[in-house]
Structure 1
Amino acid sequence: MKSEQSCLKVTEDLTRHPEQSPAEGVGCVSAEDSFTSSGQSLVAGSSLPRVSCDNLPGVVWHMSRFSWCRRIILNYSHIKIEKGTTKITGTARYAVQQDIGLDPNSNKFGEHVDVTLIEKHGTVKSPQVSFESGCTGCNPLYARPWQGFTAIGEQETKQKDFNRYVPIQNGTKVDVDWGWEMVIKHAGVALDTKITWGDVGARCDNKVAGNRGCVVPAFTPTLYIDYAKRQAAAAMIVEAQQKNLQHWGLRGKGKPLTRLADDKETQKNRDITRPSDWIPPDGLEKGSCDEFPFASTYQSGTKGGVHSGDQCAQLFSWQSPNGDWWVEEWEHKNEIVVAPCIRANTPLIQNTSVGGDLGRFTQDIRLLDADPYWVQVIDTRRGIPTDEETRCHLEQRPNCHRPTNP
């Protein structure tokens, strides 16, 4: 956030060169800003909620994959030189809120802006403001909630909704950046005071699912895998995430997985980690060979340092008397801790179902090549658990009611 007349600089200049100070004084602006990120904006197969600042108090910067809102507080000061010293003779305090709701299935979206004068004091008697929203890559490029300057009374809000769209060619993407400018003026001050801010962007593309759509790429979404439906495959992911030192895709411990969009490269990864002639260790039924990290990520295959499936830690799945599936490491050699990949023989239907979850997730949230995402296993039979609850339920711990391998 940048002000052409920052308060610190104004005070320093006036103190250093009081003879150059205009008799009317000058204005400056300081800003209060913040940032938060929605932790539950994306669940594969669910609706895609938008975030709003309306019910959030104070200073807010809140985002999800398809929307964001921001409320900042602008503190304006009117400063004069009186008897050789700088003095604040008047103030005004504004709240500025912006909400943008993107559409995962359209290149059109809406933008909301409102400006509220919270309070004013002293020599700032009848302030006026102008406001402009700039959006590179958008049509229109600039939008204004009102033309020129307008007066806003104390506790009054001026607001406006804009509709914009981003022209996109087939098979391309467009990066969108916002920038805003607000100018404050009032009687008795020599110069108008301008403040600008931005640092929020979006991306619109026509490269996913054959349609146009827009996202907030700064937000890293989460793919949720339901243990209740994908038991052996889900348990294998938990074992890999919790026990391997890389903690692939595990928020808070590891780094996100990144999508590999090239189908031929994905197949190469699959052929390396689980070749068609794969034979499980003696004593294990063949089932299907499931791998983690997913073949369609840059963490798999040669890009992840894997040149042979023999480098993977080998897990096997088994079904308890109550019907739940679990996985364990074959021969318990603890290779899972440092192995560059994990694979397990799992029921085919569970293996392919996770692949379907990932495919739908990729389209729903418009993952492009190299886009990051987290992976979290949940159990909808118990609600959506915290990470610790998930680990307790899917790892062999006391009081988690996990059965013993018969």
Structure 2
Amino acid sequence: MRRVCVVLALLAGLFACPSPAGAVDGEWLRAKLAREMRLAGPGAGAYVVDLTGERALFATREDVPRPPASVEKLYTTATALLRFGPDATLDTQVEASAPPDFEGVVDGDLWLRGGGDPTLTKVELDVLAAQLTAKGLTGVRGGVAGDGTVFDQFPGSYRTGGRLDIDMGGELAGLAIDRGLVRGRFQRAPALTGARALASALRRRDVRVAGRTGVEAAPAGARTLATISSPPMRQLVALTNVPSDNLYAESLLKALGARFGAGGTTAAGAAVVSAQLASFGLYPRVFDGSGLARADRTTPRQVVGLLERMDRTQVATVFRRSLPVPGRSGTLRKRMRGTPAAGRCAAKTGTIRAVSSLAGYCTTQDGRRVAFAFLMSGVYVPAARHIQDRMTAALARVDLGPPT
């Protein structure tokens, strides 16, 4: 077989013997990607960059803006890592106007102040109750109030005008337990639900709560009696990207607005993300954190631009590890199994009606790192995914040779 390959190569100058790993060269890669993009149609754009050699490998309609779908989450989670830092947390606190007296009784109300943590559950409220009793709390002469004012009062996404959005998979709130759901239904008053859950947890520990539960902002100067933290930001972004969780993405967006912008609103968070991207010289149209909004617009070049810049930051590894891996995890667990991309690439998927996207990183056969973005609109999604999978597998299969 080897002798036949050598003869053919000498005669035609067109073929090369395949390596044992099935690697192919850059010329084959570009031809392969071009064929696949013709199949994807005029509504598709692609951009691929060799990060190791710092050169573009392939480009087709790379500057045409398109809806990114959930690839938008790359912008949100990258900004969260850069602004908050990978070890930051979103904290939920129990506060009071004054500490308990010598008998362990709070003379007044308790406030459960939310920090926008989308992972909060009844279990964490039980931990808060345990902290309070461990510190000697025996009674509350007032009631328990839920405070979710870190975010605005709109429970849904940009695309629904802030109204409840079934595709969020929960209720967006500054204070909500169990994703703002009860037996699969929206809680409607998540801060009140949280307050009731904390009061119940205290009573189970024989803490007497004399007053009622309600919803109220904690007063300025209130003292913190107990705190429960979310997972660190490095884990929150992975919990967002791997399963493509819309609620987590929108919560991070509002948290960015609350901490670094004009307030805990979708618009304020989008402005923080846009400012971060502008510092990289990137100017997509950002309206939400999840990509549910069809008004979001970006180009393949802009997405790859983010991937390039994130690869140079101190959180580069954290960011890459937050992405699904073909054949192994998240939204790519059942895709590209048994291909060169399995275990060699990490990418964010994106899907809304007639839109399919894929963007991320691959390691080539010769150990180079490439960044890519495939944005496809006006397509039949299952067919578009097959095209993206073949293109991604080709990136992982190529041997680009030594840097030039």
Please give the range of the TM-score, normalised by the shorter of the 2 chains: under 0.3
Taking structure 1 as the reference length, the TM-score comes to: 0.24
Higher gyration radius (CA):
1
Whose helix proportion is higher, 1 or 2? Answer: 2
Higher relative CO (Cα under 8 Å, sequence separation at least 6) belongs to: 2
